[in-house]
Structure 1
Amino acid sequence: MAGEIPDLVAEARTGTGKGAARQARREGKVPGIVYGGGVDPLPINIPFNELLKRLRSGRFLSTLFNMKVEGQDDVRVICRNVQRDVVKDLPTHVDFMRLRRTSRINLFIPVEFINEEDAPGLKRGGVLTVVRPEVELMVTASDIPEKLVVDLTGLNIGDTVTISAITLPEGTRTIIDRDFVIANLTAPSSLVSQEAEEDAAAAEDAAEAAAAEATETEEG
């Protein structure tokens, strides 16, 4: 299961319409609405600074929140739309959707790498290049994985880890319909330089040998 779901504190908005929304903005709040879940929509206000901080931290539209509104039961929500000022690009309205336990949603799940000490390629000085530190999955709201685990045991230089190497929780699937790369183990720059020098030296030796052979042929 996922770790602790972050709280998002809001307050019920008493009025509706443009007038109430403008009043909320004058008070340093962003008006919004919570809908779905088989109950009536709930107009809300969220502190502007708090919402802006959340937006700037990233992944706002794919993060599950525990919304807390005084006088209401806590509810899991996910943002479905953020309206912004066309000039200042600041939030002016936000829509949230309530989620049932059986709701299916898209979320970015972090990837964790384990057993680095058992990867021969890393012992040789190889570099683990992480292509996707997070993977977007379709998950059930009641069963969100905290992370995806990649076991690096036996990984050698040149090996690649794809999504098919990870066992996904039951009922979870990737958004991308192909076996995409999660990480790969590459040679260290010193080894690459050494191999390049060896290749260059070998090519030079081959060229000199060919030139010598050609000279001998001409003299013969």
Structure 2
Amino acid sequence: MSEQLTLSAEARERAGKGASRALRNQGRVPAVVYGGNQEPLSVHLEEKALAKILNTGHFMNSVVMIDVGGKPTRTLPKDVQFHPVTDRPLHVDFLRISEHATVTVAVPIRFVGEENSRGLKRGGVLNAVRHELELVCDAAEMPDEIVIDLAGLDIGDSLHISHVTLPKGTSSAITDRDFTIATVVAPSGMKSEAAEAGGEELTSGEVPLVGDDQGDAE
């Protein structure tokens, strides 16, 4: 289960690009807390504290308590804007949620069991179509990650969402198709050998041209 995080924040009195730029120059990051049938709350966070929990890799699927003046608000991060060059966080959106709200989150995938995959042991390559799953779950029971076992997969096999056992009370947000998560594909060398073998078989089983038959008959 994903851990609960806490960030101290201060109310933002001024809005606008100039005010936001001034906050960033002071090592602060503008943010907004919205939803929950309440007015949006503009705040700013310490950049170092935010960067620390961003680096955990679980920020977007964790409950974050935004503490403003000793009054914590339960939230779920919805969006983080980063500087295109420096990757510094520029702005964060938080959604107010209740303790057991049903939420949709993107949860990272971790593949295991490579040593038990016949295809990978034969030199095949894992093609990860998805690196995270969009899941619907209880806000208090959000998983940190989804572990998927590759045991038994051979070259040419595909792994779909129907093959994955999700945590109790959790379901896929995509319900209209059995989408592919990963496949095991042949390495390029193996593909080339197969193509050459196919070409040789075609040559050895070549059907004589009609003109050649007529020439022999004469």
Q: TM over 0.5: same fold?
A: yes
Alignment partner, residue 202 of structure 2? 203
- Which residue is 1:215 aligned to? 212
| Alpha-carbon displacement from aligned partner over 1:37-85 (angstroms, at most 9, x marks no partner) | 5777654223578779999x9998x54352343532444312457899x
Cross-structure match for 1:103:
101
Change (3 A) 1:137 1:49: same
Q: 2:119 aligns to what?
A: 121
Q: Is structure 2 residue 115 aligned with structure 1 residue 138?
A: no
Alignment correspondent of 2:193: 194
Checking the alignment, whether the CA contact within 8 Å between 1:10 and 1:67 is kept in structure 2 is no
SS in 2 for 1:182: strand
Alignment check: 8 A CA contact 2:66 2:75 kept:
no
Structure 2 portions without partners, runs of 5+:
83-87
- For 1:217 and 1:48, locate their aligned partners in 2 and report how far apart those are by CA, in whole Å: 85
| SS at structure 2 position matched to 1:210 | coil
Q: Which residue of 2 aligns with 1:181?
A: 180
User: What is the SS of the residue equivalent to 1:155?
Assistant: coil
More moved, 30-39 vs 156-165:
30-39
1:161 to 156, 159, 162: 159
With over 3 angstroms needed to count, the CA separation of the structure-2 counterparts of 1:123 and 1:43, relative to structure 1, is closer
1:149 CA drift (Å): 2.1
The amino acid across from 2:183 in the alignment is N
Alignment CA distance shift 1:164-1:81 (3 Å): closer
Residue 87 of structure 1 is matched in structure 2 by none
Could you tell me the TM-score, scaled by structure 2's length? 0.74
1:151 maps to 2:159:
no
Determine the C-alpha separation between the residues in 1 that align with 2:58 and 2:145. 16
Q: Unaligned stretches of 5+ in structure 1? A: 85-89
Distance change >3 Å, CA 40–CA 214, structure 1 → 2: closer
Deviation at 1:6, TM superposition (A): 4.8
Normalising by the residue count of structure 1, what TM-score does the alignment of the two structures yield?
Answer: 0.73
How many residues of Structure 1 are paired with residues of Structure 2 in the alignment? Answer: 208
Could you tell me how far 1:94 is from its partner in structure 2? 5.5
1:122 CA drift (Å): 1.2
How many Å separate the matches in 1 of 2:165 and 2:63? 26
Instruction: Assess if the C-alpha contact under 8 Å between 2:9 and 2:44 holds in 1.
Output: yes
Q: Is the 8 A contact 1:64 1:76 kept in 2?
A: no
Measure, in 2, the Cα distance between the counterparts of 1:114 and 1:30.
Answer: 37
Deviation of 1:36 after TM superposition, in Å, equals 4.7
After TM superposition, give the deviation of residue 97 of structure 1 in Å: 2.2
Aligned to 2:65: 67
Q: Is the 8 A contact 1:11 1:44 kept in 2?
A: yes
Partner SS for 2:140: coil
Task: Measure the CA separation in 2 of the matches of 1:122 and 1:156.
Answer: 7
